[in-house]
Structure 1
Amino acid sequence: MGSPGTLRGSYAKTAERRREILDAGVEVFSSSGFRNGSIREIAERVGISQAGLLHHFSNKNELLAGVLELRDDISRERMNMTPDGGIDTIRGLVDLVEYNSGVPGLVELYCVLSAEATSPEHPAHHYFINRYSYVVGIATESFELMKSRGELAPDVDPGSAARTLIALMDGLQVQWLLDRDSIDMVEEVRRYVRPLLTIDL
């Protein structure tokens, strides 16, 4: 039996290898989509065999789930996604847009997979349904809290404002990917949000 130090080293190497596979998965699924992206190509990018990759992720669907979880973890680190976040949650969304402008691979992954996942047969179909429900719900509750505090303009509907904000963010990402010099995603989001508020963004 190995020493605790040896075990910790083994776990660390396993975690590092899994992260390398996930990063490669982001690259491949971003450029090729889930349907066309292959386990073989991801394994080659990491420098291991397909069997070696499948030691860490038992199949392609499990790898996709890991890639999406990685993206969500990064998003959660950037913002306060809590129902009582109020303006902090909205500011967090703007900060997330700014962060996304520096990681085109993750943005492309999201855009490609969300388009593919409109098909009910796609393995990420329910993930995106649940994600939109969650994100729009969090934004709605934050706007509702702000409305109760007098921080929203009188004619603003929290639910409509939340859904439009999320739709704007996603639509801007597509335009930005097509021509990154033509649009400032962060400023466009700020321009939408500022008139909704009675406080500074």
Structure 2
Amino acid sequence: MDTFAARGYNNASLAEIAERAGLTQAGVLHYFRSKSLLLTSVLELRDDTDIEQLGTERPQGLRFLHHLVETARRNAEREGIVRLYAVLSAESVTDDHPAQDYFRSRYAGLRGFVADAVTETCRLGDGEADAERALIAANAIIAVMDGLQIQWLLDPAAVDMVASTELVIDAVLTRLTS
């Protein structure tokens, strides 16, 4: 995680990863057949760690939106994970990046979860216009959270990810219910 976070996928070397893990390059490749499989495994480990925090069930509605605020709180305590996510998600927009499918899928799933939570919280209908409003709200919330992470990585003392995330979610919910 640390090597990918610090150097990005293309600049991270298997030699450095192996050295940090106390293995040889052959040892790393024994467990992960390729650098891209190692990257995918690191990203899945990040997700599995976050999912464990949820317990047995994903919260719904307003509880899920509160979970996003709590995620911002946890992220403020784990710079390495936040850096890994920020670097690799940005890199993944390049041609043939091995994490591109992962991030496309992750964003699609997250957009769906947030849109569902917004729909339930604001008691939106199931029509096309309300579904579009919920999706726009989900995109905005996710974009703010990702942008806050980048700002926080650059200047932690200047950015309160928790307060900012909470403010934006409250503003979006207020807008959709007024």
Q: Which band: TM-score by shorter chain?
A: 0.7 to 0.9
2:70 is matched with which residue: 77, 83, 95? 95
Which of the two has higher C-alpha Rg?
1
RMSD of equivalent CA atoms: 2.2
- What is the aligned partner in structure 2 of residue 167 from structure 1? 143
The separation in 2 between residues aligned to 1:114 and 1:46, in whole angstroms, is 24
Superposed displacement of residue 30, structure 1: 0.3
The separation in 1 between residues aligned to 2:151 and 2:144, in whole angstroms, is 11
- What is the aligned partner in structure 1 of residue 168 from structure 2? 192
Structure 2's unaligned 5+ residue stretches are 126-132
Q: Which amino acid aligns with 2:109?
A: Y
Q: Percent of aligned positions with the same letter in both sequences? A: 41
Equivalences for 1:60-79 in 2 at 5 Å? 60-79=35-54
The separation in 2 between residues aligned to 1:171 and 1:188, in whole angstroms, is 11
Deviations 1:66-102 (A, max 9, x none): 10001111222334774x7111111111111110110
2:9 is matched with which residue: 21, 34, 55? 34
Structure 1's unaligned 5+ residue stretches are 1-25, 151-156
User: Is residue 2:67 matched to residue 1:56?
Assistant: no
Superposed displacement of residue 120, structure 1: 3.0
Q: Which amino acid aligns with 1:179?
A: D
Q: Which amino acid aligns with 1:53?
A: V
Structure with more relative contact order (C-alpha pairs < 8 Å, separation 6 or more): 2
Structure having the higher helix fraction is 2
Superposed displacement of residue 197, structure 1: 4.0
Task: Detail structure 1 runs of 4+ shifted over 6 Å in the superposition.
Answer: none
Residue pair 2:92, 2:99 contacting (<8 A) in 1 also: yes
Q: Which amino acid aligns with 1:180?
A: P
After TM superposition, the score normalised by the length of structure 2 is: 0.87
Superposed displacement of residue 149, structure 1: 7.8
Aligned length: 168
Residue pair 2:75, 2:81 contacting (<8 A) in 1 also: yes
The separation in 1 between residues aligned to 2:124 and 2:104, in whole angstroms, is 30
Corresponding residue SS for 2:95: coil
